[in-house]
């Protein structure tokens, strides 16, 4: 295939070596730290090597600041400098400033309907109320007929978060610097694999993302932070949290590495807001077509996607003139 050279050759060695062009002269492909701060998307079918690549990137990027991994299946302990086994021992701290933030978080995590969110907003008077939200719902006397049904459905959803014991606690955001254990040069892994429901994993994932944002907004942590979001299709739910987050944090020095096996299910805003794209092997025609369209791949390059090996990827990055096939290192 045709491969291209860098847009500009200066500074290219200041970055992460992703791999080399797959045909001679096997030009090394570096991606700059600044480009990772405008987010990276890794897609590929199951078993195509996404996690292995994200692990390498998190490990290399930590030299520019700190890396944080939302480790859905407990796969990153080998590379982690500090592991938080969420759900084991101490409850994980979720920073919430305003009761409405708690409502927003649960709306996202539990995919609440508007009446459910409305009722929840009525019940949560302070952030800490989230910890006893089941009691609050249970003891609530419905004031209107619609609230009877809403109360029951809300109860069913919220119990998904609380039936496995005290997994999380609500803290003031100002306490957060003691709770998100990252520091310069360190790769911190939040192991979510002990959490028994998808909703709990999602809650903690969003809690950590909020905490990272809070620390950067307040200038508590000065260096860049790179966050690997594994299983992004699960983190996203139906609303727009991740989309908004991607757009908001780029000016804060937070770079996300969004990993998913289902590009066809991704919101186009996620595609638009990730300026590095790494495509590993994909099998489904829908997935291939979605990613090819978003990257504007020509038919020849697109036709390679279902044949890529573990060590291969089609990569788009600002420093490259066009998407190219590379052999990963
Ligand atoms: N470059 C490679 N060469 C050989 N084997 C590899 C390579 N990269 C990954 N593997 C192996 O392939 C398997 C799947 O890799 P990995 O877990 O990174 O894939 P994945 O895309 O994250 O899969 P999933 O969708 O299941 O999360 C692992 O056992 C890993 O060791
Ligand atoms: Mg994986």
3-state DSSP helix/strand/coil % of the chain, to nearest 5: 45, 20, 35
Q: Does the pLDDT of residue 3 top 80, yes or no?
A: no
**What digits encode the pLDDT tens for the residues 212-252?**
998 888 887 889 999 999 999 888 766 678 888 999 998 99
Same-domain status, 202 and 292: yes
- Give distance in angstroms: CA of 157 to centre of ligand 1: 34
Alpha-carbon distance of 71 to 165, in angstroms, equals 21
Same-domain status, 197 and 315: yes
Q: Which atom of ligand 1 is nearest to the CA of 261?
A: 25
pLDDT at residue number 12: 53
pLDDT at residue number 197: 87
Q: Which atom of ligand 1 is nearest to the CA of 44?
A: 21
pLDDT at residue number 178: 57
Last residue of a domain, one of 144, 168, 192: 168
Instruction: Ligand 1 pocket test: pick from 18, 20, 51 the residue with the most ligand atoms within 8 Å of its Cβ.
Output: 51
Last residue of a domain, one of 124, 146, 168: 168
Q: How many domains does the chain have?
A: 2
Cβ distance 223 to 7 under 8 Å? no
> Does residue 137 form part of some domain?
yes
Q: Does the pLDDT of residue 97 top 90, yes or no?
A: no
Cβ distance 261 to 72 under 8 Å? no
Same-domain status, 239 and 313: yes
Cα 33 to chain centroid distance, Å, stands at 18
Same-domain status, 206 and 302: yes
Mean pLDDT within 306-314: 96
> Does residue 56 form part of some domain?
yes
Residue appearing with tokens 């969003």: 206
Last residue of a domain, one of 168, 191, 220: 168
pLDDT at residue number 219: 83
Q: What is the mean pLDDT of the chain?
A: 89
Q: Which atom of ligand 1 is nearest to the CA of 73?
A: 27
Same-domain status, 229 and 293: yes
**What digits encode the pLDDT tens for the residues 129-183?**
988 899 999 999 999 999 999 999 999 999 888 777 777 888 887 776 655 666 7
Q: Does the pLDDT of residue 326 top 60, yes or no?
A: yes
Q: Closest residue (by CA) to atom 8 of ligand 1?
A: 49
Same-domain status, 293 and 318: yes
- Give distance in angstroms: CA of 295 to centre of ligand 1: 24
Helices (H) and strands (E) in the chain, counts: 12, 13
Mean pLDDT within 202-206: 90
Mean pLDDT within 313-325: 94
Ligand 1 binding pocket, CB closer than 6 Å: 44, 46-52, 261, 310-311
> Does residue 225 form part of some domain?
yes
Q: Does the pLDDT of residue 206 top 70, yes or no?
A: yes
**What digits encode the pLDDT tens for the residues 39-73?**
999 999 999 999 999 999 999 999 999 999 999 99
Range of the domain at 108: 98-168
Q: Closest residue (by CA) to atom 2 of ligand 1?
A: 310
Q: Does the pLDDT of residue 1 top 50, yes or no?
A: no
Same-domain status, 142 and 254: no
What the block records as the tokens of 116 is 């459910």
> Does residue 308 form part of some domain?
yes
Same-domain status, 207 and 106: no
- Give distance in angstroms: CA of 47 to centre of ligand 1: 5
pLDDT at residue number 10: 44
pLDDT at residue number 7: 55
Q: Does the pLDDT of residue 278 top 50, yes or no?
A: yes
Q: Per DSSP, what are the bridge partners of residue 30?
A: 17
pLDDT at residue number 259: 97
> Does residue 8 form part of some domain?
no
> Does residue 90 form part of some domain?
no
Same-domain status, 321 and 203: yes
82-85: strand order across its sheet:
28-32, 15-21, 324-328, 312-316, 276-279, 40-43, 254-260, 224-229, 65-71, 187-191, 82-85
Same-domain status, 50 and 187: yes
Same-domain status, 254 and 185: yes
- Give distance in angstroms: CA of 53 to centre of ligand 1: 8
DSSP state of 157: H
Return the CATH number at 247. Answer: 3.40.50.300
> Does residue 176 form part of some domain?
no
Indicate left, alpha or beta for 326 from its phi (over 0: left) and psi (-120 to 50: alpha): beta
> Does residue 2 form part of some domain?
no
Same-domain status, 219 and 301: yes
**What digits encode the pLDDT tens for the residues 102-112?**
898 899 889 89
């Amino acid at each position: 295939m045709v491969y291209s050279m860098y847009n500009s050759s200066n500074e290219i060695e200041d970055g992460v070596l992703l791999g080399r062009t797959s045909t001679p002269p096997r030009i090394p492909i570096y991606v700059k730290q600044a480009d990772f701060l405008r987010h990276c998307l890794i897609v590929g079918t199951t078993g195509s090597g996404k996690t292995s690549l994200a692990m390498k990137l998190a490990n290399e990027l930590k030299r520019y600041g700190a890396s944080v991994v939302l480790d859905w299946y407990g796969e990153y302990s080998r590379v982690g400098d500090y592991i938080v086994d969420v759900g084991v021992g101490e409850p994980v701290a979720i920073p919430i400033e305003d009761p409405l933030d708690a409502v927003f978080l649960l709306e996202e995590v539990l995919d609440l309907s508007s009446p459910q969110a409305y009722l929840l907003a009525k019940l949560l008077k302070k952030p800490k109320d989230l910890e006893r939200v089941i009691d609050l719902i249970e003891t609530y006397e419905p004031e209107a007929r619609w609230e009877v049904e809403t109360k029951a459905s809300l109860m069913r959803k919220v119990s998904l978060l609380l039936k496995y014991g005290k997994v999380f606690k609500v803290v003031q955001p100002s306490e957060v610097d003691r709770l998100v254990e990252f520091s310069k040069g360190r790769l911190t892994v939040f192991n979510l694999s002990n959490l028994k429901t998808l909703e709990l994993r999602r809650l903690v994932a969003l809690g950590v993302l909020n905490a990272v944002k809070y620390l950067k907004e307040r200038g508590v942590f000065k260096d860049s932070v790179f966050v690997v979001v594994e299983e992004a299709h699960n983190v996203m739910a139906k609303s727009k949290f991740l989309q908004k987050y991607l757009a908001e944090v780029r000016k804060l020095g937070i770079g996300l590495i969004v990993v998913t096996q289902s590009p066809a299910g991704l919101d186009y805003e996620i595609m638009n807001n990730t300026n590095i794209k790494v495509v590993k092997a994909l099998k489904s025609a829908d997935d291939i077509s979605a990613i090819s369209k978003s990257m504007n791949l020509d038919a020849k390059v697109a036709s390679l996607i279902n044949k890529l090996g573990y060590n291969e990827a089609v990569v788009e990055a600002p420093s490259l003139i066009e998407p190219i096939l590379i052999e990963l290192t």
